[in-house]
Amino acid sequence: MYISLVVAASNANAIGGNNALLWRLPNDMKFFKNLTWGMPVIMGRKTFFSMAGKPLPGRFNIVITRNIDSVPAQEGVWICTSLEEAIEKAKATDCREAFVIGGGDIYRQSMAIADKIYMTRVHADFSEADVFFPEISVDDFGLSESIEFAADEKHAFPYAFETWTRIKDMESNG
């Protein structure tokens, strides 16, 4: 099973502030939904609660928390106490790819095992940010695709959809 990270990050790798996104980009939300539909999504407790504490529909929702009592049991949500346990739950779905969707600590833990990073790079800076995506090492990942978009009436900031692939994977496929 492939492990992929999905993130929207600013120029300075900001991903959130005050347990919320810092921008609204409808095309990014559509991209995220299409990419992750029917697949397992792995997230930390704070990310889960930033989505009103409800599972994302059409996906296997796996929430990582040190305290399993901090996340109420509900249909469509699997609660795990470690990234390793979450990956085992994702493998049990028999899907070919699992998506880590945040937050900052879960991204840091996942970086070493990720095969791919789907990043929406928001071309702006946000001083109110308090959560950041880890720096992508160009020794480990290569930028395999980047599609730029200008700001418009629905998107306050220019952005790019970037795909970063682990270099060993790029070499074996290319």
pTM of the model: 0.94
Give Cα 3 to chain centroid, integer Å: 11
* Structure confidence by residue, pLDDT tens digits, 59-69: 999 999 999 89
Average pLDDT over residues 129-134: 97
* Structure confidence by residue, pLDDT tens digits, 8-19: 999 999 999 998
Residues paired with residue 132 on neighbouring β-strands, in sequence order: 14
Query: CA–CA separation, 170 vs 85, rounded Å?
Result: 28
Count of positions (residues) in the chain: 174
pLDDT of residue 171: 61
In the chain, what are the domain boundaries?
Answer: 2-173
For CA atoms 69, 71, 77, 83, the dihedral sign is negative
pLDDT of residue 19: 86
* Structure confidence by residue, pLDDT tens digits, 88-102: 999 999 999 999 999
pLDDT of residue 168: 80
Please, which pLDDT band fits residue 172 given cuts at 50, 70 and 90? low
Please, which pLDDT band fits residue 173 given cuts at 50, 70 and 90? low
Gap between the terminal Cα atoms of the chain: 20
* Structure confidence by residue, pLDDT tens digits, 67-81: 989 998 899 999 999
What DSSP element (H or E) covers 6? Answer: strand 2-10
Which percentage of the chain shows pLDDT scores above 70?
97
Tokens read off for 79: 């609660």
SS3 58: coil
User: Closest by alpha carbon to 131, among 64, 71, 50?
Assistant: 50
Query: CA–CA separation, 115 vs 164, rounded Å?
Result: 9
pLDDT at 116 over 90: yes
Say which CATH topology domain 2-173 has: Dihydrofolate Reductase, subunit A (3.40.430)
Average pLDDT over residues 150-162: 97
Query: Please, what is the average pLDDT of the chain?
Result: 95
pLDDT of residue 170: 59
